[in-house]
Structure 1
Amino acid sequence: MQSQQDALIPRSRGNLPKVCAATLAAITIGGIMFLSPERLFGWVAMATLVLTLGPLLHGLCLLAEEMLHHSNTRYRGRLSRVPSACGLGGKTLLAAVLGILLLYGVGSPLPDSGQSWTLVFLVPILYALLKSLGVLGPSEVEVSDICEGRKMNVAHGLAWSFYLGYLRLVLPRLNDSIKSFCATHQSSSPCWGRGSRKLLILIPLNANISHKLEDEDDNIRFYDNLPNNEIDRAGVRGRVYKHSVYRVLGEDGKAHDCVAEYATPLLTFYNMSQERSAGFGEPERRQQVLLFYKTLQNILDQSLECRNRYRLILLNDEHDDDPHYLSKTIVGHLQQQEKEEFCLTTPPQQDTGHPLAGVRPCVPHGDWQHIEAESREPTLMISLDKPQPLKEPIEITDHFQEAP
Structure 2
Amino acid sequence: MDALIPRPRGALPRVCAVALAAMTAGSVVCLSPDRLFGWVAVVILILTLGPLLHGLCLAAEEVLNHSNTRGQRLLSRVLPACGFGGKTLLAAGLAGLLLYLAGPPLPHTEQCWKLLVLTSTLYALFKSLGVLGPSEVEVSDICEGRKMNAAHGLAWSFYLGYLRLVLPRLEDSIRAFCVTRKAFRGRGSRRLLILIPLNANISHKLEEEDDNIHFFDNLPNNEIDRAGIRGRVYKHSVYRVLDEHGKDHECVVEYATPLLTLYSMSQESSAGFGEPERRQQVLLFYRTLQEILERSLECRNRYKLILVNDEHEDDPHLLSKAILRHLQQQEREEFCITPPPQQELFNPFALMSSSPPSAPPMNGDCHLPEPMSREPTLMFSMEGPQPLKEAVEDTDHY
Q: TM-score range by the shorter chain?
A: 0.7 to 0.9
Letter in 1 for 2:112: S
Q: Does 1:161 align with 2:157?
A: yes
What does 1:52-67 correspond to in 2, within 5 Å?
52-67=48-63
Q: Does 1:219 align with 2:212?
A: yes
Letter in 2 for 1:286: R
Q: SS state of the match for residue 46, structure 1? A: helix
What does 1:85-100 correspond to in 2, within 5 Å?
85-100=81-96
Q: SS state of the match for residue 80, structure 1? A: helix
Letter in 1 for 2:54: H
Q: SS state of the match for residue 239, structure 2? A: strand
Q: SS state of the match for residue 210, structure 1? A: coil
2:244 corresponds to which of 247, 251, 276? 251
Partner of 1:297: 290
Partner of 1:360: none
Q: Is the 8 A contact 1:217 1:326 kept in 2?
A: yes
Q: SS state of the match for residue 297, structure 2? A: coil
Alpha-carbon distance in 2 for matches of 1:31, 1:86: 35
Q: Is the 8 A contact 1:202 1:314 kept in 2?
A: yes
How has the CA–CA distance of structure 1 residues 79 and 103 changed in structure 2, closer, same or farther, with 3 Å as cutoff?
Answer: closer
What does 1:351-362 correspond to in 2, within 5 Å?
351-353=342-344
TM-score, reference length from structure 1: 0.84
- How big is the shift at 1:383? 5.2
Q: Is the 8 A contact 1:75 1:81 kept in 2?
A: no
1:403 corresponds to which of 382, 395, 398? 395
What does 1:152-191 correspond to in 2, within 5 Å?
152-186=148-182, 188-189=183-184
User: CA deviation digits over 1:252-295, x for unaligned, max 9?
Assistant: 21110000000000000000001111100000000000000000
User: CA deviation digits over 1:199-255, x for unaligned, max 9?
Assistant: 000000000000000000000000000000011111111110000000000112111
Letter in 2 for 1:66: E
1:200 corresponds to which of 185, 188, 193? 193
Letter in 1 for 2:259: L
User: CA deviation digits over 1:94-132, x for unaligned, max 9?
Assistant: 111111121122111122221111001100100000000
Q: Is the 8 A contact 1:9 1:290 kept in 2?
A: yes
Q: Is the 8 A contact 2:199 2:311 kept in 1?
A: no
Partner of 1:11: 7
Q: SS state of the match for residue 311, structure 2? A: coil
Aligned CA RMSD, in angstroms, stands at 2.2
Alpha-carbon distance in 1 for matches of 2:309, 2:61: 46
Alpha-carbon distance in 2 for matches of 1:403, 1:148: 82
Partner of 1:148: 144
Alpha-carbon distance in 2 for matches of 1:107, 1:131: 30
Q: Does 1:74 align with 2:70?
A: yes
- How big is the shift at 1:156? 0.3
Letter in 2 for 1:302: R
Runs (5+) with no aligned partner, structure 1: 356-379, 387-400
Q: SS state of the match for residue 84, structure 2? A: coil
How has the CA–CA distance of structure 1 residues 94 and 78 changed in structure 2, closer, same or farther, with 3 Å as cutoff?
Answer: closer
How has the CA–CA distance of structure 1 residues 247 and 298 changed in structure 2, closer, same or farther, with 3 Å as cutoff?
Answer: same
Alpha-carbon distance in 1 for matches of 2:278, 2:108: 55
Q: Is the 8 A contact 1:75 1:82 kept in 2?
A: no
Alpha-carbon distance in 2 for matches of 1:236, 1:24: 60
Partner of 1:374: none
Alpha-carbon distance in 2 for matches of 1:342, 1:300: 23
Alpha-carbon distance in 2 for matches of 1:256, 1:203: 20
TM-score, reference length from structure 2: 0.85
Q: How many residues align?
A: 357
Percent identity, aligned pairs only, is 73
Alpha-carbon distance in 2 for matches of 1:354, 1:231: 55
Alpha-carbon distance in 2 for matches of 1:182, 1:381: 36
1:121 corresponds to which of 106, 117, 122? 117
Letter in 1 for 2:134: P
